[in-house]
Amino acid sequence: MLNRVEAVRPLEKYRIWLRFQDGTEGEVDLSDLAGKGVFRAWLEPGFFEQVFVDERSRTVAWPGELDLDPDALYEDVAGITTS
């Protein structure tokens, strides 16, 4: 899949709103990742809010090369389940 993120906005409680190139948009709850491994950085005040769309990979990212798989985000937003 080539699910490219066009826009992202941080929300409260480790949630983000995002829109994909095909127009699919919605919210994703990332709170289960907060504080775990590399996502420990999100616990620093103001860090999670620095989310942006990486121009090269066209996915959701944070400073320090921290990013998320765009296909997994798309499946979450679109309500696609894989087995």
5-78: CATH class:
alpha beta
Strands (E), the chain: 5-11, 15-20, 25-29, 52-53, 60-62, 66-67
Q: What is the pLDDT of residue 8?
A: 98
Q: What is the pLDDT of residue 80?
A: 81
Q: Is the whole-model pTM more than 0.85?
A: yes
**H or E element at residue 78:** helix 70-78
Q: What is the pLDDT of residue 15?
A: 98
Residue pLDDT tens, the chain, 83 long:
578 999 999 999 999 999 999 999 999 999 999 999 999 999 999 999 999 999 999 999 999 999 999 999 999 998 887 65
Q: What is the pLDDT of residue 79?
A: 87
